[in-house]
């Protein structure tokens, strides 16, 4: 479905690919990037992707012009490193959900820098729930949204 740009595929849960295994994450990222129907990409229970695999996946994902919603649920955010690779996607983002992920102080700062670098013309809704952050760190994200 993904590789064929199926018009019925408007959301994609990355957990359908299972564990990191032997997937070609660059190819999956490219397929996501070329898809013209996707609106939502969910990262649910993704905790075994390496930084290299994430980078290959996010490179392609950032080319997609239709994704407006991204969900992270109980996933490894690599200390927030992934947010700097999602900046092109954040330009179009309408909804970002981060739930049950350990964002931490560094992750909060990296998320805030990614949000600040965007020149958004639309409202972005961000849902946080059980992010494992100590409260003060989230202030950086809130300030970035005011910019």
- Which residue do the tokens 């290299």 mark? 52
pLDDT-derived band at 146 (thresholds 50, 70, 90) equals low
> Model confidence over 55-102: pLDDT tens digits?
989 998 889 999 989 998 888 888 888 888 888 888 888 888 888 887
Please return the burial class of 56, using the count of CB atoms within 10 Å of its CB with bins 0-12, 13-18 and 19+.
buried
Per-residue DSSP letter, 4? T
> Model confidence over 38-58: pLDDT tens digits?
999 999 888 888 888 889 899
Q: What is the mean pLDDT of residues 12-41?
A: 86
Around Cβ 24, how many Cβ atoms within 10 Å?
Answer: 12
Does the predicted model carry a pTM greater than 0.85? Answer: no
């Amino acid at each position: 479905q993904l590789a064929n740009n199926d018009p019925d595929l408007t959301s994609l849960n990355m957990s359908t690919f299972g564990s990191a295994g032997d997937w070609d994450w660059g190819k999956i990222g490219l397929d996501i990037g070329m898809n013209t129907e996707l609106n939502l990409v969910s990262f649910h229970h993704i905790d075994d992707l390496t930084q290299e695999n994430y980078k290959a996946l996010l490179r392609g994902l950032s080319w997609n012009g239709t994704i407006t919603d991204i969900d992270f649920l109980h996933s490894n955010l690599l200390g927030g490193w992934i947010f700097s690779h999602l900046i092109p996607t954040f330009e179009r983002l309408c909804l970002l959900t981060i739930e049950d992920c350990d964002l931490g102080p560094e992750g909060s700062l990296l998320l805030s820098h990614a949000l600040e670098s965007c020149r958004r013309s639309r409202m972005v809704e961000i849902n946080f729930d059980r992010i494992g952050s100590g409260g003060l760190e989230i202030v950086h994200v809130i300030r970035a949204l005011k910019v």
